[in-house]
Amino acid sequence: MAVGGFTSSTNDVEKNYPGKLTSYAAWACFTAAWGGLIFGYDIGISGGVTSMASFLEKFFPSVYRKEALNDSTDQYCKFESMILTLFTSSLYLAALVASFFASTVTRRFGRKRSMGTGGLIFLTGAIINAAAVNLGMLIVGRILLGIGVGFANQSVPLYLSEMAPYKYRGALNSGFQLMITIGILFANLINFLTAKISGGWGWRLSLGGAAIPAAIITIGAYFLPDTPNSLIERSFTDEAREELQRIRGTDVDVEEEFQDLVAASDASKQVHHPWKSIMERKYRPQLVMSIAIPFLQQFTGINAIMFYAPVLFKTLGFGDNASLMSSLITGFVNVIATLLSVFTSDRFGRRILFLEGGTQMFICQIIVGFLIKYAFGSKGVAVHLSSGTSAAVVLFICLFVSAFAWSWGPLGWLVPSEIFPLEIRSAGQSINVAVNMFFTFLIGEFLLKMLCTMEYGLFFFFAAWELIMTVFIYFFLPETKGIPIEEMYQVWKSHWYWSKFVPEEEEEEEEERKE
């Protein structure tokens, strides 16, 4: 039954599988979560590298001249260069395409193979980037990194959600986002240090540093077990039972959960064309979420900060050192606030975090918008911010980042990975990754242009989206905490709106008979 009109009660679900969080499952999830590190490292590294003079001079001489001569009188447009943003955003286009190939690998060959493939391709990209002597090499390296990210982001969240006991799914899945944020911070820190290296080759270390997380996930994936769900899906039924026993605890009766996984797998075998099936009316709630959640996650505007924090801070008149320092601060806040979500999403639920986070981000964007309007006005003439205004900008950006970090950041990966039935899970996750990457690409590519044309209005633009997403969650996203992943259809069945799309069991059986 719908509770409170918009949500479904977790009490409706009678399943209550026994099983604690074993150290074995915790180890597997911890190792797989390292996949987030490669994504995070990329996000964090490009902003810092593209603000290094030696890097700009070598690969983007026109941007370098513009900045060095300071021949732009308009602060907002100082860094605007399509080719520079292409360096950042080409990775996301490659990840988008790769996520569709990853869908097949993840479904046919298992989650861990997808992770390992991603790690290896990423490693190659990191090496090429570190050795780059021209723009072509740089872009090829970026594309390989993107393919790696596409595979990892497609498989790791699924792996975590399937491996975790359902009561801890939020915490363990948030490990992925935690690793993303650690990757970003690590990259910011590396940039901060390499920018100080004389001789102008520090950027090579920054780009090559990506090889470290890549090696970890490649080796880690080799030793990881696959998930019971995936083993059953690929007909390794005995191995799946043993695996389930091992991850839930040897003293636990796993029979009920195992039978449910087998039933889910049997149902999934009826589906030969997941891409066609996912379009069916009965999967509409999941399909809408797999598009809306990543789209809205990107329209929080988080990557305006994550990609371009040093550039943005420079635009605001901060010095080189202060810019990199400020991005370190936001990176640190990002990690700490994500940790909070690890401990809260299973206790308080996904919805409350989404709603609070969205509201807090909205307020912060409005304030930052006004602070910048007040400092630059609409001509963007280089007026240096007073130290009070600079501190206020950094403070509200940190409050914005923390709100994202305990809401849309982790939940943007967790919720899509837990709502799909097995038969369309891999395809659904690919849609989630592809949509996320597409809008990450758009933001990466057009953000500096938007800053140049919309000026401080950019912050109000994102604020408007934060309002929309909060209303969307309030009305359309049911609570998913504490529900076994293969029982998730119940939340749609008891939702005020989505219940119209989910057939009753009898109707479904009738439909299957007809087929």
DSSP code of 1?
Answer: -
Q: Which 3 state secondary structure label does DSSP give 414?
A: helix
**436 sits near ligand BGC (criterion: CB under 6 A):** yes
Task: Please report where in the chains the tokens 């009898």 appear, as a residue.
Answer: 506
Minimum CB distance to ligand BGC, residue 198 (Å) = 31
User: Among residues 39 and 456, whose Cβ is nearest to ligand BGC?
Assistant: 39
Report the Cα 54 to chain-centroid distance in Å.
30
Pairwise CA distance, residues 286 & 306, whole Å = 28
324-353 residues near ligand BGC, rule: CB under 6 A: 334
CA-nearest of 187, 124, 214, 163 to 24 is: 163
**Closest-CB residue for ligand BGC?**
306
Stretch that binds ligand BGC, among 298-306, 379-387, 391-399, 470-478 (CB under 6 A): 298-306
**397 sits near ligand BGC (criterion: CB under 6 A):** no
Contact with ligand BGC (CB under 6 A) among 306, 414, 427, 448: 306
> One symbol per residue from 14 to 43: x for binding ligand BGC (CB under 6 A), - otherwise; what is it?
-----------------------------x
Minimum CB distance to ligand BGC, residue 334 (Å) = 5
Stretch that binds ligand BGC, among 270-278, 296-304, 313-321, 386-394 (CB under 6 A): 296-304
Contact with ligand BGC (CB under 6 A) among 143, 180, 244, 431: 180
Q: Could you tell me the two tokens for 506?
A: 């009898």
**Angle at CA of residue 267, ends 263 and 270, nearest 5°:** 150
Pairwise CA distance, residues 398 & 394, whole Å = 6
User: Among residues 172 and 240, whose Cβ is nearest to ligand BGC?
Assistant: 172
| Cβ neighbour number for residue 329 with a 10 Å cutoff | 16
Minimum CB distance to ligand BGC, residue 392 (Å) = 22
User: Among residues 290 and 303, whose Cβ is nearest to ligand BGC?
Assistant: 303
How far CA 218 is from CA of 121, 123, 181, in Å, comes to 9, 8, 19
Minimum CB distance to ligand BGC, residue 348 (Å) = 19
Minimum CB distance to ligand BGC, residue 177 (Å) = 5
**181 sits near ligand BGC (criterion: CB under 6 A):** yes
Minimum CB distance to ligand BGC, residue 303 (Å) = 5
Q: What 3 state SS string does 73-102 have?
A: CEHHHCCCCHHHHHHHHHHHHHHHHHHHHH
Stretch that binds ligand BGC, among 48-56, 185-193, 299-307, 379-387 (CB under 6 A): 299-307
160-179 residues near ligand BGC, rule: CB under 6 A: 177
Q: Which long-range contacts (CB under 8 A, 24 or more apart) does 376-382 make?
A: 376/75, 376/76, 376/455, 376/456, 378/455, 378/456, 379/74, 380/74, 380/75, 380/76, 380/77, 380/455, 381/73, 381/74, 381/75, 382/73, 382/75, 382/317
Stretch that binds ligand BGC, among 83-91, 407-415, 464-472, 494-502 (CB under 6 A): 407-415
Q: Could you tell me the two tokens for 510?
A: 């009738």
User: Among residues 413 and 498, whose Cβ is nearest to ligand BGC?
Assistant: 413
With CB under 6 A, what is the number of residues at the site for ligand BGC? 15
Contact with ligand BGC (CB under 6 A) among 188, 303, 417, 480: 303
Residues 6+ apart with CB under 8 A from 242: none
How far CA 115 is from CA of 27, 30, 263, in Å, comes to 16, 14, 26
How far CA 143 is from CA of 44, 94, 214, 440, 450, in Å, comes to 16, 5, 15, 15, 24
User: Among residues 156 and 231, whose Cβ is nearest to ligand BGC?
Assistant: 156
Minimum CB distance to ligand BGC, residue 21 (Å) = 23
Minimum CB distance to ligand BGC, residue 417 (Å) = 12
Minimum CB distance to ligand BGC, residue 99 (Å) = 13
User: Treating both helix axes as pointing N-terminal to C-terminal, what angle do 457-476 and 350-376 enclose, rounded to 10 degrees?
Assistant: 170
Report the Cα 1 to chain-centroid distance in Å.
32
Q: Could you tell me the two tokens for 248?
A: 């839930």
Residues 6+ apart with CB under 8 A from 316: 75, 372, 375, 385, 390, 393
Contact with ligand BGC (CB under 6 A) among 47, 175, 409, 484: 409
Stretch that binds ligand BGC, among 274-282, 302-310, 354-362, 501-509 (CB under 6 A): 302-310
Amino acid at 473: I
Give residues in contact with ligand BGC (CB under 6 A): 43, 177, 180-181, 184, 297, 302-303, 306, 334, 409, 412-413, 436, 440
